[in-house]
Amino acid sequence: MDPSPLFYQAGPALPEISHAQGVYLWDETGKQYLDGCSGAIACNLGHGRNDIRDAMLAQLDRVAFTYRTQFENAPAVALAQALVALTHHHLEKVFFVSSGSEAVESALKLARQYFVARGEPQRRRFVSLRPSYHGSTLGALGVTGYEPLEAPFRDIAIGSLKVAGPDFYRHDDADDSRHVARVLADTRAAIEAAGPDTIAAFVLEPVGGASTGARMLDQTYLEGIRTLCDETGCLLILDEVLTGIGRTGAWFAYQHYGVTPDLLATAKGLGAGYYPVGAVLSRADIVETVMASGGFQHGHTYAGNPLACATGLAVIEAMQRERVLDNVSARGRELKEGLLALKARFPWVGDVRGLGLLWGVELVADADSKAPFPAEQNRFALITVLAKEEGLLIYPRRTLDGVAGDHFLVTPPLTIDAAGIAELLTRLERAMARFDREVNSAAPANALTP
């Protein structure tokens, strides 16, 4: 009999967590781990913070839950005002949810209802990138471009028009500017072929997350997509579930580029691992149009509950009080320098890319051709196991549409200090040296298992 009724993804038994503090966690045997990926890129302020706990306890002493159609609550209003301020009032309306998938799903439905209210019901299609990740609910999965996640549900999900985004590591154009121009031209052609007046919104991550290993966009591309959306009459939805709330060194990643979306989804770091909370931010006129048509026909039971919003507000206030964005920029420079040094040492590191404290490391079988390792070797999983044995948590995925390629994310809590970055790099170096010695030198290659 299975000793546990829980089931998640298939794999070996996991150690049981005991406790955590700062950027470290300990299992029940006493082994220490440095949280080099903030859990699932969510524990942005680290673990065991008394100020966040105190804010949650204070709210618990008042009321933990009220339903949004019965009462308003002060934490929800205050958190909404804080989020609007973080966008410099470019996005003026907020709808709360409990997760990233719900945030993206809500943004899709809001965009759809907006066009129905405007008398444009033919706008029912969405455009997104392949690869990409936008969530696991059916709507969010429909705009996700990651083959293993899509395959079992393709016949029941409403898929989007998938187009390629820039790939500054693997492209074979003459230079980056020509690459971006070609990608934009291909995107425009795909939308023209599909029918511009059928498109409701373009959905993208301003910096790639788990599906691409922090693949970067650039200002020219984002400005081109903004222009294309404006000319087409569709909306631009930015998925900042992972990048939002300071991960890249700005409150939202789009602020590095000065390209403002019409709708924005965020979650993960908003609750910082202390309580589930996410949000959709919108232009005011979009919401006003929908509300005038009878209201947004959507919602979740726990959306905007007082405890969730008090937690999110405490997270933002702590980040402002401690100038966490400055720390992200400084520590990000140190992490980048350390990862590039490891790339120079290990030729099977093909690319290091990222921004702030969101970094991806891509592994390749051949640095010159950029050929990936054979998929059956599961190198992304193997290096993650070795890192965990060395007391470091990293976040692995496949790079090329989820079916090939290997990368891992390095995304420590935004509060990590210089000593923590140095320790992270030391543990990662040990894991990579073991990977080089124990995995790359192993034979036969097809015998390798995570």
Assess contact for 279 and 267: CB atoms under 8 A. Answer: yes
Q: Which one-letter amino acid corresponds to residue 422?
A: A
Q: Burial code of 151-163, b = ≥16 C-beta within 10 A, e = fewer?
A: eeeeeebebbbbb
- Determine the Cα–Cα distance for residues 249 and 334; give it in Å rounded to an integer: 13
The residue among 378, 383, 377 whose CA lies nearest residue 395 is 383
φ/ψ (deg, to 5) at 62: -95, -65
Topology of the domain covering 52-321? Aspartate Aminotransferase; domain 2 (3.40.640)
Strand order in the sheet with 125-129: 93-97, 278-282, 263-266, 235-239, 199-204, 125-129, 161-163
Q: In the structure encoding, which two tokens stand for residue 262, read together?
A: 């019409």
**Three-state DSSP class for 248?**
coil
- Is the peptide bond between 372 and the residue preceding it cis, with omega within 30 degrees of 0? no
DSSP readout, 370-423? TBPPPGGG-HHHHHHHHHHHTTEE-EEE-SBTTTB-EEEEE---TT--HHHHHH
Four-CA torsion 314, 317, 322, 328, nearest 10 degrees:
90
- Give pTM, 2 decimals: 0.96
Assess contact for 316 and 86: CB atoms under 8 A. Answer: yes
Beta strands 235-239 and 199-204, pairing class? parallel
Domain residue ranges of the chain, discontinuous segments joined by +:
17-48+324-447, 52-321
CB atoms within 10 A of CB 178: 11
> What's 17-48+324-447's CATH class?
alpha beta
Q: What is the pLDDT along the chain (450 residues), one digit of tens a residue?
A: 456 788 776 677 889 999 999 999 999 999 999 999 999 999 999 999 999 999 999 999 999 999 999 999 999 999 999 999 999 999 999 999 999 999 999 999 999 999 999 999 999 999 999 999 999 999 999 999 999 999 999 999 998 999 999 999 999 999 999 999 999 999 999 999 999 999 999 999 999 999 999 999 999 999 999 999 999 999 999 999 999 999 999 999 999 999 999 999 999 999 999 999 999 999 999 999 999 999 999 999 999 999 999 999 999 999 999 999 999 999 999 999 999 999 999 999 999 999 999 999 999 999 999 999 999 999 999 999 999 999 999 999 999 999 999 999 999 999 999 999 999 999 999 999 999 999 887 644 444 444
The position carrying tokens 């969101």 is: 358
- Determine the Cα–Cα distance for residues 398 and 212; give it in Å rounded to an integer: 8
- Determine the Cα–Cα distance for residues 307 and 275; give it in Å rounded to an integer: 8
